[in-house]
Amino acid sequence: MLVIGKDSLAKPGADRFVKAIIGAFYGEMEALQSPATQDEALAQVGKELYNVDSADMETAFKQTKCYATADEWVAVFASKLFGNVEKVLEINKKRNFITEKPTFGFDDPKAQLNFDRSYMAAVKDAK
């Protein structure tokens, strides 16, 4: 998940920046899933990001639920998984990770914690 502050999103060109980051992520996911490029991509990601060999990276990749396409992320945002936000915020408040629960919403620019699906949809539609 990509988290960007509203102040950054208000800057000129921010929408292009966010779409570029999301596009790059999905480009990498395609390389990690394609049989033609997977071995090389796993080796490179393992070495450059995590200092592990390709075998360890392959194990981690297989054991991690990756939402590898924009379609999958758009579906997750619309699913019951995000229905637990209120519960997660309450738990975090009880454990003193946060002092106050932020307002949250979906595609709600007034919410302090806004799950904005427009960027994902834009990347999805651009393919």
**Assigned domain for 26 exists:** yes
Residue range 9-22, pLDDT digits in tens: 899 999 899 888 88
The verdict on 80 and 113 lying in the same domain is yes
Give the pLDDT mean for 1-10.
84
Residue range 90-119, pLDDT digits in tens: 999 999 999 998 988 888 889 888 888 888
**Residue for token digits 């102040």?**
7
Residue numbers of the domain that contains 35: 13-67
Residue range 35-79, pLDDT digits in tens: 999 999 999 988 998 899 889 988 988 898 888 777 887 788 777
Residue predicted with more confidence, 3 or 42: 42
Give how many domains the chain has, as a whole number: 2
The verdict on 48 and 74 lying in the same domain is no
Q: Which residues contact 106 (CB under 8 A, 6 or more apart)?
A: 77, 82, 114, 115, 116, 117
The verdict on 75 and 122 lying in the same domain is yes
The verdict on 120 and 74 lying in the same domain is yes
**Assigned domain for 79 exists:** yes
The verdict on 116 and 73 lying in the same domain is yes
The verdict on 74 and 121 lying in the same domain is yes
The verdict on 47 and 81 lying in the same domain is no
The verdict on 61 and 95 lying in the same domain is no
Q: What pLDDT does 64 receive? A: 86
Strand (E) or helix (H) holding 113: strand 113-115
User: What DSSP line would sit under 30-99, residue for residue?
Assistant: HHHH-TTTHHHHHHHHIIIII---HHHHHHHHHHS----SHHHHHHHHTSGGGGGHHHHHHHHHHTTS-S
**Assigned domain for 1 exists:** no
Q: What pLDDT does 97 receive? A: 94
The verdict on 43 and 91 lying in the same domain is no
